[in-house]
Amino acid sequence: MSFFNNNLVWDAARTVPESDRLLFDLFTTAFNENATRGQLSVNQSGLPAWSAVFSGVVALTNTYPNTSVPVTNYTIIDPVGTQGSNSALWKIVDG
C-alpha cells in the first residue's frame, strides 16, 4: 500500500472508524440527574456560553513553512472579554 509514493502509512493503518461510534458514550454519560443540568446545545448562538466552554482550551495548529516536515504549534483560546470581534473565539462562534 503506497500513498503518494510514500510507504509511511502506519497512521492510516491504525485508525478504526468503525469503533468511533463508541466515543459518543464518553461525552453523553451522566452519572446522576444533576450532571445533565447546564448542558450546552450545539445550536446555542450566545457568545457568553461558548466563551465559558472554550476558554482555556488548547488547540493545535499546523503550519507548512518551506521545509518538508510539518511544524505544529499550539494556541490557547482566551475568553472574548474586551477583544470582542477581534478574538479567536468570536471567529469560531461567528463561523
Q: What is the tens place of the pLDDT at every residue in 24-72?
A: 666 655 677 776 676 777 777 788 888 888 888 888 877 666 666 767 7
pLDDT of residue 1: 47
Q: Between 75 and 69, whose confidence is greater?
A: 75
Q: Which structural domain, as residue segments, surrounds residue 49? A: 10-94
- Could you tell me the end-to-end alpha-carbon distance of the chain, in angstroms, rounded to an integer? 38
Residues 6+ away with beta carbon under 8 Å from 27: none
pLDDT of residue 2: 46
pLDDT of residue 81: 76
Compute the residue count for the chain: 95
The verdict on residue 3 lying in a domain is no
pLDDT tens-digit readout, 82-94: 777 788 788 877 7
Which residue is associated with the grid cell 500500500?
Answer: 1
Q: In a 10 Å sphere around its CB, with 0-12 CB exposed, 13-18 middle and 19+ buried, how is residue 80 labelled?
A: buried
The verdict on residue 5 lying in a domain is no
| Entry pTM | 0.47
Grid coordinates of 10: 502506519
Element spanning 91, H or E:
helix 88-94
Q: How many domains does the chain have?
A: 1
